[in-house]
């Protein structure tokens, strides 16, 4: 059978899918540069129902072709379409610092679920590591301008790549790999175009294993590879990989990456999301076909809504801008068609159990997409890794203070980092200071939310203590005292959370002391103007601008006078006592 032949068995037949036999072209690539990409279609489904025509196999695996689509072969002539995610970095040990999570995501009292936190991200591939057809195409794309991805002529930064599924894995693709069943002569069914759901996390991982082994057995030349038999492989994405891509990746600005949703480009929210609208009498009846909405800026479909998506990482709490605590169940991202708008935000995360009483956890609205990744320490790189490590190690040692010297500041580390990157000092200072201010604003908003919650819990505690002072039956007193103990514990937890957040907020104030006064003044002015312009100065932005003014006051007060920063004074500024009584 040639590389282009597809043999459909008779209806009802069950076959073991044969090798594709790729000849000449290593991977299917739709990087036709200069050619405008086809827009995402609103069909199918039309007006909430499936169209009468079921697409061909080609239409089923890629209903919305776009420029820069990348394809890997699948059994029976199928394909799996990827989008490239580019991460600009200064070398193999570099990465991109991003903020994940969101401030509320529809549950302001549970910020420990997805509170704003820092993450580092990079990719395992450079353009030189890829098969020639991919490497050449991505190089040309970078030359023309590929978002934040550096141009090949940039001597200080490199584009590192990973590749993520353009769509969620469908029922059809599941059958091709897991059931070794090719479409019959009658074609494919309407359900074949929907995301594969009702499977466990372990089964999703098993899909990635079987598919990778099929590629290695039948078309190994389709995969990037290094020496020593180190091939690229398919796996579930990490949470950081998934969220970076879902927010728009390298195709949006650093500021847009921090927003709760990717830029909508003037379109209504429902043009991008299959979800249950607030006030709807009932949710959609079923999952939509893949590609039924418009793509995000990176060309991915259904990262919000349709099927929720499993990722590789175990769940940890989010608090104080980091993940911590025990490793729990697995994480689901993106929400589903059964969820409302706040529940499908990219920053939202759900912890789901690996097992229930009846066995591995499964859900009718839970699916997955995959990434193409690779080992990051292949033998081919040992020499380059050694040279870069010597440079990074020397810079790190120069930034560590000698005995008796002052504490190294963030500015010192930024300076060392900037030397390695070759970035102008003014730009490094401005970027680092902006990141510190944005972190402070997110933290301050969390402090306010937790303080309001603590006030409500304290109010309940006082009510219970008042009841406890009354003459009540012994049985009622026991229940009451148990309630008091629980609420007291909640107060203690809230106090700890607020204290942790305050420490982080104060550290951001201290960071500003390491920058020249003109830089601080200029960046404060720039951020204030950005906040005023955002989204027509809506209510959420107004609230953030008020928080910004408080932070600006703290920076001026403590920098000018050199005073010790009093956490109680800071908290009183952020949450005046009168605000809690209203």
- The strand pairing partners of 373, in sequence order, are 233
**DSSP-derived 3-state class of residue 346:** coil
The confidence score (pLDDT) of residue 428 equals 56
Look at residue 393 in the predicted model and tell me its pLDDT: 62
pLDDT of residue 218: 97
What is the pLDDT at residue 334?
Answer: 97
Which residues have a Cβ under 8 Å from the Cβ of 20 and sit 6 or more positions away? 1, 3, 73, 75, 77, 218, 219
pLDDT score recorded for residue 545: 79
Q: Helix axis angle, 410-421 relative to 425-468, nearest 10°? A: 140
**The predicted structure's pLDDT at residue 380:** 87
Closest to 255 measured CA to CA, from 567, 531, 554, 42 = 531
Residue 49's pLDDT is 37
> Does the predicted model carry a pTM greater than 0.85?
no
pLDDT of residue 19: 39
Which pLDDT value is given to residue 150?
93
pLDDT in the model for residue 18:
40
Res 429: pLDDT? 65
- What residue ranges do the domains of the chain occupy? 28-37+57-373, 379-421, 425-581
| Sheet strands (E) in 90-222 | 96-100, 117-121, 158-165
Q: How far, CA to CA in Å, does 459 sit from each of 455, 456, 464, 472, 578?
A: 6, 5, 9, 21, 15
In a 13 Å sphere around the CA of 298, the CA atoms on its Cβ side amount to 34
Can you give the pLDDT at residue 32? 40
For the chain of 582 residues, list the mean pLDDT of each consecutive stretch of 10. 36 38 41 40 38 65 93 94 95 88 80 86 94 92 94 88 98 95 78 96 98 97 92 97 97 87 91 88 87 96 97 91 91 96 94 97 98 94 84 54 39 41 56 78 82 86 82 72 82 83 84 78 82 54 76 80 76 74 44
Is residue 325 within 8 A of residue 233, CB to CB? The reply is no
Q: Which residues contact 96 (CB under 8 A, 6 or more apart)?
A: 87, 88, 89, 120, 121, 122, 244
Q: What pLDDT was estimated at residue 337?
A: 95
**Predicted local confidence at residue 427, as pLDDT:** 61
Regarding beta strands 366-367 and 308-314, do their DSSP bridges make them parallel or antiparallel, or are they unpaired?
A: parallel
From 3.90.1580.10, 2.60.40.2470, 3.30.450.370, 1.10.3720.10, which CATH number describes the 28-37+57-373 domain? 3.90.1580.10
Residue 578: per-residue pLDDT = 54
Find the radius of gyration of the CA atoms of the chain: 27
- Residue 6: its pLDDT value, please? 43
């Amino acid at each position: 059978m040639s590389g282009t032949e597809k043999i459909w068995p008779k209806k009802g037949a069950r076959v073991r899918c044969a090798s594709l036999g790729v000849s000449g072209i290593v991977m299917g690539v739709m990087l036709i540069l200069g050619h405008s990409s086809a827009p995402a279609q609103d069909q199918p489904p039309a007006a909430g129902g499936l169209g009468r025509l079921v697409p061909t196999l080609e239409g089923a695996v890629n209903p919305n072709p776009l420029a820069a689509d990348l394809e890997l072969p699948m059994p029976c002539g199928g394909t799996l379409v990827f989008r490239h995610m580019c991460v600009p970095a200064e070398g193999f040990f570099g990465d991109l610092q991003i903020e994940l999570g969101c401030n509320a995501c529809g549950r302001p009292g549970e910020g420990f679920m997805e509170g704003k936190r820092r993450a580092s991200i990079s990719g395992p591939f450079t353009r030189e590591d890829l098969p020639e057809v991919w490497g050449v195409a991505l190089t040309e794309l970078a030359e023309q301008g590929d978002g934040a991805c550096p141009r090949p002529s940039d001597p200080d930064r490199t584009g590192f790549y990973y590749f993520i599924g353009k769509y969620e894995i469908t029922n059809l693709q599941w059958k091709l790999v897991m059931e070794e069943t090719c479409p019959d002569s009658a074609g494919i069914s309407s359900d074949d175009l929907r995301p594969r759901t009702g499977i466990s996390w372990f089964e999703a991982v098993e899909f990635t294993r079987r598919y990778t082994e099929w590629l290695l057995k039948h078309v190994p030349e389709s995969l990037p590879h290094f020496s020593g038999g180190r091939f690229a492989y398919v796996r579930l994405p990490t949470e950081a990989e998934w969220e970076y891509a879902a927010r728009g990746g390298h195709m949006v600005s650093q500021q847009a990456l921090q927003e709760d949703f990717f830029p909508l480009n003037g379109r209504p929210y429902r043009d991008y999301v299959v979800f249950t609208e607030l006030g709807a009498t009932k949710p959609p009846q079923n999952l939509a076909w893949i590609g039924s909405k418009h793509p995000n800026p990176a060309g991915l479909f259904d990262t919000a809504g349709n099927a929720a998506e499993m990722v590789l990482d175990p769940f940890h709490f989010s608090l104080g801008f980091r993940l911590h605590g025990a490793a729990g169940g697995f994480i689901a991202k993106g929400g589903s068609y059964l969820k409302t708008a706040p529940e499908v935000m990219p920053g939202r995360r759900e912890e789901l159990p690996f097992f229930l009483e009846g066995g591995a956890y499964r859900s009718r609205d839970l699916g997955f997409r995959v990434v193409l990744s690779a080992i990051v320490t292949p033998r081919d790189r040992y020499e380059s890794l050694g040279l870069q490590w010597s440079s990074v190690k020397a810079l790190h040692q120069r930034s560590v203070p000698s005995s008796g010297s002052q504490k190294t500041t963030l500015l010192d580390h930024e300076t060392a980092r900037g030397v390695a990157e070759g970035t102008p000092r003014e730009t490094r200072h401005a970027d680092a200071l902006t990141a510190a201010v944005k972190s402070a604003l997110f933290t301050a908003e969390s402090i306010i939310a937790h303080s309001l919650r603590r006030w409500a819990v304290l109010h309940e505690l006082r009510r219970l203590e008042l009841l406890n002072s009354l003459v009540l039956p012994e049985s009622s007193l026991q229940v009451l005292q148990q309630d008091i103990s629980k609420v007291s514990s909640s107060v203690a937890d809230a106090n700890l959370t607020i204290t942790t957040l305050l420490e982080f907020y104060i550290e951001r104030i201290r960071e500003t002391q390491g920058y020249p006064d003109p830089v601080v003044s200029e960046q404060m002015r720039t951020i204030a103007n950005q906040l005023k312009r955002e989204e027509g100065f809506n209510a959420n932005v107004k609230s953030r601008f008020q928080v910004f003014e408080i932070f600006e006051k703290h920076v001026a007060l403590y920098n000018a006078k050199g005073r010790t920063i009093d956490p109680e004074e800071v908290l009183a500024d952020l949450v005046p006592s009168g605000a809690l009584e209203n």
